Amino acid sequence: MSSSRRNFLQKAAMGLAGSVAVPLIGKSSSFHSLSENSAAAKQTLQVGVAGYTFAKFDLDKSIAMMKKIGVSNLSVKEIHLPLNSSQETINAAMAKFKEAGINVYAVGVIYMKTKETVDQAFQYAKMVGVNLIVCAPNYDLIDHVEQKAKEYDMRVAIHNHGPKDPLYPSPKDVYDRIKNKDPRMGLCIDIGHTRRAGVLPEQVVKEYKDRLFELHIKDVTAGVEEGKAIEIGRGIIDFPALVKSLQKINYKGVCSIEYEKDMTDPLVGIAESIGFFKGVLAAEA
C-alpha cells in the first residue's frame, strides 16, 4: 500500500470514528470530544441529510435517527411535513426540529406537474421558513417556477433523477433548461443518478458551479442504468475527487446524504455513509 493511500485511510478512519461510532456511545466520552473537534476543524463542507432517507419513518423517528447520526442539517420531505399543512402544523413540526437541534434548510424534492402545485410549493417553503426548494417541474412549468422564484425571492434547485427519468436524466438536462433563466434557478445534482447516467460528478460540479445550489450525496454499484444504491465508499464514485472539485469551486451549499439502501432499517448504513464521507472531508482538508 502506498503512503498516500495509507494516509487517506487513516484520516478517513478518524473521520468515521469521530462522526459516527462515538455518537452512538454518548457525548460524555473524552474520545468523542477530541476526535470530533479534530475532524470538524478540517471539514470545510456542510453535511446534511435529504429527508427521503427516512421515507419509511414518521417525523419523530426521523428526528431520533438524525440525533443518533449526529447531523444537524435537514432538507425536509413532504412525507414528514405535507405540502397542504397548516401554519399551525408546520410550526409544531419546526418546534420539534429546533428542540432536537436540527436546522431545516430546504424542502423537497417536490414534483411539480401543475401551476397549482408550483404555487403551493412556494407558499409551503415560505411557511416553513426556508429559501431553497428542491424540485422537479414539468418543462412547461419552468417559466412559471421562474416567475415564482422572483416573486418570493427564493432559490430553486432542479433535481436530476437518472437514465429512466423522462425530464432530467443528468445535470446537463437541468442546466440546458435554466442556464438563461433568473440566477435563482439552479441545480440539485444527485451524484448517484449522475453517475448512473454515465457522467462523473466531480466534473459536472465544476461545469455548473454557478448554478449549483444543492447536492444529494450517495454511492452506486455501477455507472449504468442498473446501478444500485449502496453505502458511501463501497461503490464506484470517486469521493476524494468530488470533494476536491467542491473545494476548488468554493461550494457553499450542503452535501445532503440521501441513503436509499435498506430503507426499512437504514441507521447502520446511514452512519457508515456519513462516517466515510466525513472521513474523506478530513483527508482532503
More confident of the two residues 205 and 16 = 205
Query: 219-220 and 229-230 as β-strands: parallel, antiparallel, unpaired?
Result: antiparallel
- pLDDT digit string (tens) for 85-106? 999 999 999 999 999 999 999 9
Least confident of 2-16, 52-66, 193-207, 254-268: 2-16
Contacts of 145 (CB under 8 A, 6+ apart): 112, 118, 135, 137, 156, 185
Look up cell 434548510; give the residue: 105
* pLDDT tens per residue across span 239-264: 999 999 999 999 999 999 999 999 99
Q: Name the band, by pLDDT with cuts 50, 70 and 90, for residue 11.
A: low
What's the pLDDT score for residue 43? Answer: 52
**Which pLDDT belongs to residue 285?**
83
Give CA–CA dist 84/88, Å, rounded.
11
- The Cα-based distances of 1 to 5, 7, 32, 118, 277 in angstroms read 7, 10, 29, 53, 21
**Where do the domains of the chain lie?**
45-265
Rounded Cα distance, 54 and 63, in Å = 9
C-alpha cell at 253: 451549499
Mean pLDDT (whole number) for 172-187: 98
The per-residue pLDDT for 44 is 79
| Percent of the chain scoring above 70 in pLDDT | 85
Quickly state the pLDDT bin for 21 (edges 50, 70, 90). very low
Tell me, what's the pLDDT at 280?
97
Residues 187-229 have pLDDT tens digits of: 999 999 999 999 999 999 999 999 999 999 999 999 999 999 9
Place of cell 419523530: 60
For strand 212-217 and strand 46-50, is the pairing parallel, antiparallel, or unpaired? unpaired
pLDDT at 42 over 50: no
Structure confidence by residue, pLDDT tens digits, 110-130 = 999 999 999 999 999 999 999
Residue 35 pLDDT greater than 70, yes or no: no
CATH for 45-265, options being 3.40.50.11540, 3.20.20.150, 3.40.50.1860, 3.40.605.10 = 3.20.20.150
pLDDT, averaged across the chain: 89
The greatest distance separating any two alpha carbons of the chain, rounded to the nearest whole angstrom, comes to 58
Q: What's the CA gap between 60 and 63, in Å, rounded?
A: 5
Per-residue pLDDT for 133 more than 50?
A: yes
